[in-house]
Structure 1
Amino acid sequence: MTTRTTRRRGAVRWAAGALAAAVALALPAVLDDSALAVYVLLGLAAMVTVGVSLLMGYAGQVSLGQGAFYGVGAYTAALLALNGLPPLLGLVAAPVAAALAALVLGLPLLRLRGHHLAFATLATQLILLSLAGQLTFTGGDIGLQAIPQFSAGSFEASGAAAYAYLTWAGLALVMLVTHNVITSRPGRALRALATSETAAASSGIPVGRYKLVVFALSAAFAGLAGGIYCFYTGYVAPGSFPVLISIQYIVMAVVGGLGTIWGAVAGAAAITLLVQGLDQLANLPGMPSYAPSVLSYAVYALVLIVVVLFLPDGLVPAIGRRLSRERPPATR
């Protein structure tokens, strides 16, 4: 690949990123409240999915428990705010608490590999949800209500548009941190780790340490999203973080493209909009009460099958290859 081609591709990426940022900032001003709710949830899902893509696509670690760290962040921010501490402090503490939980849980869990690790993380989420439903300070099955609005100094997020900007600012931070990680020396070590842990260890890479750190970092992203979620909804309960939500993040990462930042965002957008459409379909008159769950699981399965068969690398890598083939060769 020539230097000119590399520069051209870099310029195209920056232009696409600038265009996406401009659209993201402009949309809250034109969307109504119902569309803004979807927009906020889309941004929160993208935040968690970027962490999943980093964890699975670069480190090769499978986790079905990201919803647990999403919940840890939400409960942390909610409890601090309800006890009179500034909401900003709660939002800062949310990713820290999620990362610490991941460090504690990761010490035993990351000794496992493959589907054993996936099932262990899934079991972790089930245990944490059960505890949240039983403990008094978390509100039990009823949860925590009347969570104050997010505020920082003179700023107060009093509407959906404010939370949309807050969410996408958080997503931009997550994407920036992820970009810096994957383009650094630790990022190269993570790619080596995903290829072969044995080969990475023989090259002097501290495999266990890197696995634990990236596990905690992806959990911190989920915790940050959970902190914003609790202030936006003003309510958190065990039912807010079902097991299906962790599966949803995996589907988003696979559909968009594992190991890509923009793929995580594209996958989150595609699946979120698809889920919203299915919810509207399931709630039509005459549909049975179990229709939302059935449609969700069926569509996740169908989407995964289609992507694995026809777009094994995900949407964004496939589109990138298609554009590269269609671009005419550079003239000398």
Structure 2
Amino acid sequence: MSDRMRRLLPGLAVAAVTLALPAFLDDSALSVYIFLGLAAMVTVGVSLLMGYAGQVSLGQGAFYAVGGYTAGILAVHGGPPVAGLLAAPVVAAAFAVVVGVPLLRLRGHHLAFATLATQLILLSLAGQLEFTGGDIGLQGIPRFGAGSFELGDASGYAYLTWAGVALVMLVTRNVIASRPGRALRALATSETAAASSGVPVGRYKLVVFALSAAFAGLAGGIYAFYVGYVAPGSFPVLLSIEYIVMAVVGGLGTIWGAVVGAAAITLLVQALNVLGTAPGMPSYAPSVLSYAVYALLLIVVVLFLPHGLLPAVTRRLSSRRAREADARP
């Protein structure tokens, strides 16, 4: 088997399973499957931003919210749902450019706290403005559709969500493989060295920040149409922390690692919610369990799998194949 075919087979297998799963899942499992895909979409952007460009953001939930509100407001006021979904990533990217011009002058934890503050300010404004529905939220968002066609069940949203994941992964792969992608890796290593090599550091930082925001905005737009309702409470700060944990657990700087991390954390959170809402458990159990598990996971990954789950598994498989090749006569 050629090396090219060997590299394609895992992706083809995952694509086949992704397309087949909605036919076998009930509504409850389909809902988890959709939210998993939405999380993967945002986490790919986080992995690109942090793993390749070396920029830390604790505010991806803000861009997720911008996409959700953009799609919802346009659809509620009579706009075509397709236009709302297309506008969601564009408006999220534009918002990222506006806030990114001053914020990206910061570095490290200063940038992280600034992006976190951006989300808090945005949610506060959304709770006060009339056209966003205030604290009550934006209700009555119509289902996604085009013309007379309308997505009527969860399986349709599952296919839409995972089509979005495929698009995001394809765009990210092409960016990474391009000349700007190599410049981003240089930027993550040393901004000074990258600048001395002719890399327009400020411009590249802003572009990758906007691109990761566009991914989150697309996910937010799909979320708005699927749930039919958005409010400030739909986008808590914990959501942004989840995306960071997903990217770190799966493997920063890897496309498939973001999907693996999103799947692992989403399924784990689902299991913790089931455990936390079991009879006899206190009302605060789900949130306490979530925070405790995030902390424990980060400690375990940093100590034992510093590069994340997927790189660790890939390295082990490569070592095994190398040993088998050496053992052949």
TM-score category of the 2 structures, normalised to the smaller one: over 0.9
In structure 2, what is the Cα distance between the partners aligned to 1:160 and 1:310?
38
Alignment match, 2:256: 262
Alignment match, 2:51: 57
Deviation at 1:154, TM superposition (A): 4.1
In structure 2, what is the Cα distance between the partners aligned to 1:154 and 1:38?
28
Alignment match, 1:222: 216
Q: What is the DSSP-based 3-state SS (H/G/I as helix, E as strand, rest coil) of the residue aligned with 2:127?
A: helix
Q: Does 1:326 align with 2:316?
A: no
In structure 1, what is the Cα distance between the partners aligned to 2:90 and 2:45?
15
1:53-80, Cα deviation, whole Å (9 max, x unpaired): 0000000000000000000000000000
Alignment match, 1:71: 65
> What code does the residue aligned with 2:35 have?
L
TM-score by length of 1: 0.97
> What code does the residue aligned with 2:325 have?
P
Alignment match, 1:133: 127
Q: Structure 2: where are the runs of 5+ without partners?
A: none
Alignment match, 1:189: 183
% identity of equivalent residues: 79
> What code does the residue aligned with 1:86 have?
P
In structure 2, what is the Cα distance between the partners aligned to 1:48 and 1:226?
9
1:139-190, Cα deviation, whole Å (9 max, x unpaired): 0111011100000234311100000000000000000000000000000000
In structure 2, what is the Cα distance between the partners aligned to 1:285 and 1:44?
30
Q: Does 1:303 align with 2:297?
A: yes
> What code does the residue aligned with 2:259 have?
V
Q: What is the DSSP-based 3-state SS (H/G/I as helix, E as strand, rest coil) of the residue aligned with 1:112?
A: coil
> What code does the residue aligned with 2:114 have?
A
Alignment match, 1:143: 137
Deviation at 1:285, TM superposition (A): 1.1
Equivalences for 1:170-209 in 2 at 5 Å? 170-209=164-203
Alignment match, 2:234: 240
In structure 2, what is the Cα distance between the partners aligned to 1:227 and 1:286?
37
In structure 1, what is the Cα distance between the partners aligned to 2:155 and 2:232?
26
In structure 2, what is the Cα distance between the partners aligned to 1:217 and 1:321?
29
Which residue of 77, 83, 91 maps to 2:85? 91
Which residue of 13, 37, 46 maps to 1:43? 37
In structure 1, what is the Cα distance between the partners aligned to 2:211 and 2:7?
25
Q: Does 1:280 align with 2:274?
A: yes
> What code does the residue aligned with 1:14 have?
L
> What code does the residue aligned with 1:157 have?
L
1:9-62, Cα deviation, whole Å (9 max, x unpaired): x43221000000000000000000000000000000000000000000000000
Q: Which runs of 4+ in 1 moved over 6 A?
A: none
Q: How many residues align?
A: 326
What's the C-alpha RMSD, in Å, of the aligned pairs?
Answer: 1.1
Alignment match, 1:159: 153
> What code does the residue aligned with 2:209 have?
F
Alignment match, 2:247: 253
Q: Does 1:106 align with 2:100?
A: yes
Alignment match, 1:116: 110
Q: Does 1:313 align with 2:311?
A: no
In structure 2, what is the Cα distance between the partners aligned to 1:256 and 1:12?
22
TM-score by length of 2: 0.97
Q: Structure 1: where are the runs of 5+ without partners?
A: none
In structure 1, what is the Cα distance between the partners aligned to 2:310 and 2:153?
33
1:122-153, Cα deviation, whole Å (9 max, x unpaired): 00000000000111110011101110000023
> What code does the residue aligned with 1:64 have?
L
Q: What is the DSSP-based 3-state SS (H/G/I as helix, E as strand, rest coil) of the residue aligned with 1:56?
A: helix
> What code does the residue aligned with 2:208 have?
V
Q: What is the DSSP-based 3-state SS (H/G/I as helix, E as strand, rest coil) of the residue aligned with 1:285?
A: coil
